[in-house]
Structure 1
Amino acid sequence: MIEAALRPTSIAELISWALAGRLGSEAATLRASTAFRTTYGTQHVGRNRHYRNEVLSIRVGAAVGSCGLEPHTAGADLIDHCVAATVADLLEHPVAAVRIAALDAYLMHVRPHPHAGGAHGAQLVIDGPTSLTKSRRRASAVIDLLPPTTTKVLVVGVVGSLLAELRARAIAYLPCDHAGGVTEWGEPVFESVEQAPTDYDALLVTGMSLGTETFDELRATAMRHGLPLVLFAQTGSAVLPWFLGAGVHAVSAEPYPFFSLDGGPSTVVAYRELS
């Protein structure tokens, strides 16, 4: 088994550890029993913005791993190709979303929450009578992971409730999302990190950066400038805690099913940098 103090330097290295059996069960001996795509739209009552999301999920044993998808990028053929495949094969799949969903499932299998990556997370129950209430409470839990001295955040992956919580706390932000456009408050959204000003003192980044293969670059940016990197992860919730103490300050880990898909209580695991 891996020593708790040893951290991977990239997603590719973490995948290589899984393939080499360094993290637990041999990936070649495990198979995906189920693969499925979740497509859903959300507009909270009282909000004026509609979101549409697609997620690829893969089940290994009792564990389900997930990766967000760009719309219409995962058809039935891709789903069928994942079913009954070995985890080793899926970790070397040409589609990044398959690799990440498989890695997430594998790591959930060998080191499940609340001990992903050898860390010890705090389990938080997110509940509420409406989807907006749950969204606000989840947002509060995420923003709590930022250092208390934070004054301006680069937000990669625009989520309305997260921006609303930052506004409520008088924390400035620079919204960044490849989709561009404007926020609910009419603020322009930068289409890339390179377009955004650099006067931020923390990064708040979606786990979808794993699926877009930009996580390693964002982590390197945070490390290069000595800035805290906080991740809100539905994609790769069991993957990202492995980088705590190696450029990652904290992770809000939210395994499938996500808070917006369940009317009852949901559990989010809050991980902080390893001491």
Structure 2
Amino acid sequence: MSARISADRTAASYDELVERVLDGDFGPDPRTTRIAVAFATRQSVRHDGRGGGYRNEVLSLRLAAAVGSCAVEPGALPDGAVDDCVGADVARLLTHELLPVRVAALDAYLAHVLPHGPAAGARPWPLPAGSSLVKSRARARAVTGLLDVPPGGTVLVVGVVNSLLEALRARGVRYIPCDLKGGTTEWGERVRTDAAAELARCDAVLASGMTLGNGSFEQLRRHALRHGTPLVMFAQTGSAVLPRLIGAGVSAVCAEPYPFFWLDGGPGVVHRYGGPAHPEDAR
């Protein structure tokens, strides 16, 4: 059976979650908790056998043993943003002018007070050691296994990752790829750029945590809540944030805190919240 998340550890919206953290509902006063380390990670990759590659840039903030992260478009993080976060208290960063800073700060705080694990409602799922492609495909199985799609159903994929599309294709699941970058998938499919325009055509949504950092998440959450559409999130961005929104439009989360699978060739773990349990969920 799936672990349950206590109602006092969830919120009705992202904004409510921020307010409750500021009010001290989840743990220590964020005005007295300070970020010790801030850093940005830049990565470029092209997997063997794949026709295209991609780039990532992620802002990460460390609070005690926890790291909170928010991906940004490469080159979009202003000079000085990292230095601006070091030594700052979480409450100040939760009202920072930059949305990625606010998201990373909230993620760091929640990862600190509710670390991933059974006590927080998570089921760990192991990733094997191997190449970035091996680990990407293993993560894709963990993510897509949280989807409950009716026969003949269609999934809107917001944030195109070819390994996720590959896993859906292996299941015979139809999908509509959507990403602000546009372009085409590995299989030559046109990538849409307006997720809102595609929502009505889909039976489920599979979305990246990057939607938190670019401001498009709440529209997806409200649609899912209003229409009863399953919304599954795969989250490097906001891995500790999104599980707190299960039941408020979010159906399930595959949370992947820093360090991400593409940074380390050794064995790893992601944490699944909600959705069906599976024998591969680590006990």
Q: Normalising to structure 1: TM-score of the pair?
A: 0.94
Equivalent residues of 1:248, 1:273 under 8 A apart: no
Alignment partner of 1:163 is 2:165: yes
SS at structure 2 position matched to 1:28 = coil
Match in the other structure for 1:226: 228
Report the Cα offset of residue 50 of structure 1.
Answer: 0.5
Separation (CA, whole Å) in 2 of partners of 1:20 and 1:226: 30
Equivalent residues of 2:14, 2:245 under 8 A apart: no
Equivalent residues of 1:157, 1:205 under 8 A apart: yes
Query: RMSD across aligned C-alpha pairs, in angstroms?
Result: 1.7
Match in the other structure for 2:63: 60
Match in the other structure for 1:190: 192
Match in the other structure for 2:10: 7
Separation (CA, whole Å) in 1 of partners of 2:90 and 2:148: 37
Report the Cα offset of residue 214 of structure 1.
Answer: 1.3
Report the Cα offset of residue 148 of structure 1.
Answer: 5.1
Alignment partner of 1:146 is 2:147: yes
Report the Cα offset of residue 119 of structure 1.
Answer: 4.3
Separation (CA, whole Å) in 2 of partners of 1:3 and 1:172: 34
SS at structure 1 position matched to 2:44 = strand
* Contiguous gaps of at least 5 residues in structure 2: 277-283
Match in the other structure for 2:52: 49
Match in the other structure for 1:252: 254
* Contiguous gaps of at least 5 residues in structure 1: none
Separation (CA, whole Å) in 2 of partners of 1:3 and 1:164: 34
- State the one-letter code of the partner of 2:92: D
Separation (CA, whole Å) in 2 of partners of 1:194 and 1:134: 31
Separation (CA, whole Å) in 2 of partners of 1:101 and 1:266: 21
Pairs aligned (count): 271
SS at structure 2 position matched to 1:245 = coil
Equivalent residues of 2:146, 2:275 under 8 A apart: no
Report the Cα offset of residue 195 of structure 1.
Answer: 3.5
Structure 1 pair 111/130, CA: closer, same or farther in 2 (3 Å)?
same
Separation (CA, whole Å) in 1 of partners of 2:187 and 2:81: 38
Equivalent residues of 2:9, 2:244 under 8 A apart: no
Identity %: 51
Q: Which has the larger displacement, 184-193 or 128-137? A: 128-137
Show CA shifts across 1:114-144 (max 9, x none).
25xx742111111143221111111011100
Match in the other structure for 2:281: none
Q: Normalising to structure 2: TM-score of the pair?
A: 0.91
Show CA shifts across 1:163-218 (max 9, x none).
01111111000011111111111111111113337321100000001001111110
Match in the other structure for 1:94: 97
Structure 1 pair 6/56, CA: closer, same or farther in 2 (3 Å)?
closer
